[in-house]
DNA sequence: TCTTGACCCTGTAGTTGCTATAGGGTGCAT
DNA sequence: ATGCACCCTATAGCAACTACAGGGTCAAGA
């Protein structure tokens, strides 16, 4: 299987696959006589894993960790659980941050009376009292 | 006022201030005899504006746009309103995406029975059926 | 006077996770 | 033999900073 087919199958760009190889996330495949990369089922499996984890928002470092964990099949699942839970906590934090931000921005927009900039509440709220400095 | 004081006042790193200058977001200040940057009230105002907008999640490009708009004080406020509303929509999208992701991840974690990796639902869910490929 | 230390300067490279380009080689069909 | 789709490497670019390296400046203390 050459790189283009692997790319189509996993909905990944060709360049991204080569990038994953370069950073050591995807093992180097064999080469054909014409120096084309030649992938097998194991590569497909591993890349699918990576993509799925990335879709779930894991960072590449977290993916690397999950891959290492999953390679050692005798190890307890709890390490995986820990990584996943840490990620979940990060997501919750991000959602909370965005919500706070949303509230603030919404309030600002609500005050906009569509008048001139000099009366604009949004601009006013952004600047400090020294805003007339230029 | 030298760069360190400006940095402390606006809770910005010194390097970031120089970076904003380099990309043309913050105008070049005068220099002292010793070639130190010398900032005034206008710079403080502008940097505060930038930081506040960044805290609200605006991109540097959006900040640039807001700064241009706010400089033209005769212009209508509605352009500002438009930028802000577009940003709000982006935030809503991000929140929705994160929530969907959170749900999925949460479900995965709920299935983890703390057994061996070979039985781990999380690993299983990440890999395709070909997971036994290595 | 000399030196210490906190501050400042420029310029460049690193971060994350790719994406895009340049400039070429391979393989198959017409 | 020539076109075309595909592949190769290497490098640079994106956001928005951050972190050096290798220096200069300035005020205070011994």
How confident is the model over B9-23, as pLDDT tens digits? 999 999 999 999 999
pLDDT in tens, B23-40: 999 999 999 999 999 999
Could you tell me the pTM of the whole model? 0.80
Tell me, what's the pLDDT at B110?
Answer: 82
> For the residues B73-102, what does the mean pLDDT come to?
86
> Closest approach of chain B CAs to the CA of A63, in angstroms?
10
CA distances from residue B65 to A103, A116, B83, B131 in whole angstroms, order as listed: 22, 16, 8, 49
Which of A59, A70, A94 is the best mutation test for B, with the most CBs of B within 10 A? A70
Tokens at A129, concatenated: 């009292």
pLDDT at A77 over 90: no
Element housing B26 (H / E): none
Identify the CA nearest to A109 among candidates A96, A124, A130, A95. A124
The mean pLDDT of A32-36, rounded to a whole number, is: 96
**Does the CB of B14 have a partner CB in chain A at under 8 Å?**
no
Pairing mode of beta strands B30-31, A37-38: unpaired
Selecting from B70, B84, B94 the residue whose C-beta is nearest the C-beta of A108 gives B84
- Mean per-residue pLDDT of chain A: 85
pLDDT tens sequence across A90-108: 899 999 989 988 998 888 8
The minimal CB distance from A117 to the residues B44, B80, B117 is found for B80
Given a cut of 80, is residue B132 above it in pLDDT?
no
| Contact predicate B26/B17, CB 8 Å | yes
Among the residue ranges A18-22, B87-91, B94-98, B113-117, the one predicted with the least confidence is B113-117
Flag if B115 and A72 touch (Cβ within 8 Å): no
* Predicted pLDDT at B119: 66
Point out the residue among A42, A70, A77 whose CB comes nearest to the CB of B113.
A77
**Per-residue pLDDT, B122:** 72
* pLDDT at position A33: 95
- In angstroms, the separation between the Cα of residue B40 and the nearest Cα of chain A is 9
CA dihedral B18, B21, B26, B27 (to 10 degrees): 120
CB contact under 8 A, A109 and B74: no
* Strand ranges inside chain B, DSSP E: 30-31, 37-38
Q: Which domains does chain A have, with CATH numbers?
A: 1-56 (1.10.1660.10)
B134: confidence class by pLDDT, cuts 50, 70, 90: very low
Most confident residue range from B4-13, B73-82, B98-107: B4-13
End-to-end CA distance of chain A: 63
User: What is the model's pLDDT at position A116?
Assistant: 64
Query: Per-residue pLDDT averaged across B115-134, rounded?
Result: 58
In the structure, how far is the CA atom of residue A130 from the C1' atom of nucleotide C1, in angstroms?
45
């Amino acid at each position: 299987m050459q790189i283009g087919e692997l790319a189509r199958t996993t909905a990944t760009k060709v360049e991204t696959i080569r990038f994953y190889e370069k950073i050591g996330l995807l093992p180097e495949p064999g080469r054909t006589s014409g120096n084309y990369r030649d992938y097998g089922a194991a590569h497909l499996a591993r890349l699918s894993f990576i993509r799925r984890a990335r879709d779930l928002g894991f960072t590449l470092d977290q993916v690397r960790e999950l891959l290492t964990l999953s390679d050692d099949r005798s190890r307890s699942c709890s390490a995986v659980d820990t990584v996943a839970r840490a990620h979940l906590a990060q997501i919750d934090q991000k959602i909370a941050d965005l919500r706070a931000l949303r509230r603030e921005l919404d309030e600002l927009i609500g005050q906009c009376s569509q008048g001139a900039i000099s009366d604009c509440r949004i601009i006013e709220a952004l600047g400090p009292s020294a805003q007339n400095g230029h």
